[in-house]
Amino acid sequence: YSKGLNNLGLVYLKQGRVSEAKEMFYQSLAQKYPYPGALENLVMLYANQKDYESANRWLKLFGNSSTSF
């Protein structure tokens, strides 16, 4: 289910529906078994928008990486 939410987020992103894409990535990450790719997609979305603070916040929240933008 969480992978499907992530994939829907990717579809929205390709359509330029950024707010809806973010929401799908958020929902994917909020599931009991979150899809790891949703974190990567959300962080890249923020980085592409030059919102590095939000990108770093999500990386720190999930503790997946010491990488910062």
pLDDT at 64 over 90: no
Q: Which tokens is 25 given?
A: 């990535």
For the stretch 47-65, what's the b/e string if a residue is b when 16 or more beta carbons lie within 10 angstroms of its beta carbon? Answer: eeeeeeebbbebbeeeeee
Average pLDDT of the segment spanning 61-65? 65
The predicted model gives 52-60 an average pLDDT of: 92
Per-residue pLDDT tens for 11-46? 999 999 999 999 999 999 999 999 999 999 999 999
pLDDT score at 25: 96
Single pTM value for the model? 0.84
The crossing angle, in degrees rounded to 10, of helices 52-62 and 36-48 is 160
